[in-house]
Every structure is written in structure tokens, then in C-alpha cells.
Structure 1
Amino acid sequence: MESCIIETPLGFTQITGDDLGIASIHILDSDEKLTDVIPECLQDCVYQLNEYFEGSRKQFDLTLNPEGTVFQKTVWDALEKIPYGKTVSYLELSKKIGDVKAIRAVANANGKNPLWIVIPCHRVIGTDGSLTGYAGGLHRKKWLLDHENPYKQQSLF
């Protein structure tokens, strides 16, 4: 398994994967040494993440290979279908996978998403529209949602 560390607007990010696909993308809570040479199997992921942060990419086209249970992968597949700039509630997500009573299990699987941004768990919010738990911190979730919002707030001053 290859690994690299890159810098993003939200902090240092570690990407792991191999020729079978990207296994994980995690935001790190500390400064790390940036990778000098990006392994070939991770280069496209780094390129696409950079495009996302620049605002020119709204959809990822990567081979993904996350580890998880069948249920987790079902939830992650549903997360991938949430369009850029849109949000859904945990309840809506539970309905999409066919089990409205699985809301807590869906929230748990969402929290275990190993592919930050690429599988957009940040697009899931509370039923009342509130920002709820996010492994990367609510400040990052807010940043990501603002970044994807097609209606940017204009400054009056």
C-alpha cells in the first residue's frame, strides 16, 4: 500500500492506495512532512483533489477500494450519489438505502467513511438543517459546504 501526504486548504491530508484503488483519504490534525514524490498510483487522486479545492472539479473519477462492511459500503455508495452543492439528512439517506429505522447505523457508517471528500459524507446534515457531527470537525464541514454552495455570500463591505 502506497501513501502520501499533501497540503489542502483544510490541512494536511494523507492518501493511501495501490493499483486496486484509493483505500483512504484522511485529514490530519497535525502538521506532517509533505511527500516529495507522489506514488504513481496516487497521482490522479492528488490531481483531482487539487482541482476540487480550486473549484474546477465537482465530481471525482477515481477507482476506490475502501475497507468496510457490506452495510457501510451500501451507505458509502449512497453518499456518492449526493450531488455536488446539495445536502441530505440522515433520515433521507436512511430512506435511500431502504431502511428508515437504520438512521443511527447510517450515521455510524457515515462517520467511518475512509474517503474524505471523494465520498461526500460532509453533505449529510441534521433533519433540521443543522451541521451535525463530522470526523474532520464541524469547521471543515462548514468550509466544504460553503465551498460547494453555488450561491456564494457576497460581502457588502
Structure 2
Amino acid sequence: MKSTAQLTKENNVKSLRLSNTDREIFENYMTYMRSDFRVNPHDTELIINRILKQLLSAEQHGLLALDFFNHDPKAHAIKELKAMPNETFKNIFKYIYQHIVLLIGIVSFLKGFLGFFMEKNGSNLYFVSFPFSVVVGFFIVFYLYGLVLKQYNCSVLTIQIGYGYSPI
């Protein structure tokens, strides 16, 4: 099974095989489909891939993109998107959950790190809580970082390349 990033790249490359006017219409269609965040991005790319294959086949038989979409690509996209499951609440709660856990991780890390340098009435409690808070904070922060990487199906190398580093 291909990742979302691979499907996106494949769809972008395949769309270059369309004629100029059909490519422009299909790129607008693709943009509209990808900009709807109510649906799963992977499922959206699968739908785009299927439509692109049909459009390439139709173009070989002499059918233009406007005829393929019945002169209204936006209505066609809306129809396709409505057929897909709505994941709005799932995405919202996942986003809120990830940020709450990240906030707890950062607070735990800072509490432990700053608490190490603060003396509390001669108590050695901070010598015990410091390593615990730092480890828990690091675990939570890097766990969420791993979830983000997994969600977008990429690695640290992919992110570094995206920010201008050269591949190894």
C-alpha cells in the first residue's frame, strides 16, 4: 500500500501527461479535493488517482476534461467528497489531544528542569523529581514528534530535505 506522500507525487506526475487545458482543469480539481479537510488525505489521494486514470483514458478517446466533469469540476468534486466518510470530529479531537499531551510534556520538562535549581526548604525531593520530570517530558515530546512523522508518512531525513538539507 502506497503512502499518502507517494500517492501525491504519483498524481502530480501523472497529471503532467494531460494536455495543457485539461491539466489546468484537473489541477484546479485536485486543489479543491485536497483542500477539503473533512476527509482522510490518503483516501482523497486514492480518489484523485482513480479520477486521473479515468481522465487519461477519456483523453485518449478524444474526451476533454470539461466534458468528463460535465462542465462543472467543482460539483463533481463535491459529489466525490460527499461519498467519502466525514472525519471532522475525529481530526479535531486528535489535534486537541496531541496538543494537550504536548503541553503536559513541556510543562513536566520545565518543572523538572527549573525545579532542580530551586531550593525548597532543604528538601531533597527535587533531586528525585528532576530526572523523573525530564525523562517524562522528553518521552512525551518525542512520542508526539514520532506521531506527527507517522501521520504524514515521512522520516526525519524527509523533513531535513524539506528544509534545504541535501540527502545522504
| Range of TM-score over shorter length | under 0.3
Which protein is richer in strand relative to its size? Answer: 1
- TM-score of the pair, normalised by structure 2: 0.26
Structure 1 length as normaliser, TM-score? Answer: 0.27
Name which one, 1 or 2, has greater alpha-carbon Rg: 2
Higher helix share: 2
